[in-house]
Amino acid sequence: MDKLNAISLFCKVIETQSFTQAAQQAQISLPMASKLVAQLEEHLNVRFTTTNHSKNYAN
């Protein structure tokens, strides 16, 4: 996992409140965006986001 890219993507998710928009900005697929954030959460043993249908919120 490229930690710097994962952190950058996580910041985009929080800024946009959307995995879809963050993935588009990072020019990666939505599944890859979700996977990178999940890997970062697992690596740090932290849950960063809570998904509520269409919005993502930082914990």
pLDDT in the model for residue 30: 95
Per-position b or e across 18-49, b if 16+ CB within 10 A of its CB: bbebbbebbeeeeeebbebbeebbeeeeeebb
The answer to whether residue 55 scores a pLDDT higher than 70 is no
Summarised one tens digit per residue, pLDDT across range 10-42 is 999 999 989 999 999 999 999 999 999 999 999
Matching CATH number, 3-58, of 3.30.930.10, 3.30.465.10, 1.10.10.10, 1.20.5.510: 1.10.10.10
Confirm if 33 and 19 have CB atoms less than 8 A apart. Answer: yes
What CA–CA distance (Å, rounded) separates 19 from 36?
11
Q: pLDDT tier at 48 (50, 70, 90 boundaries)? A: confident
pLDDT in the model for residue 57: 59
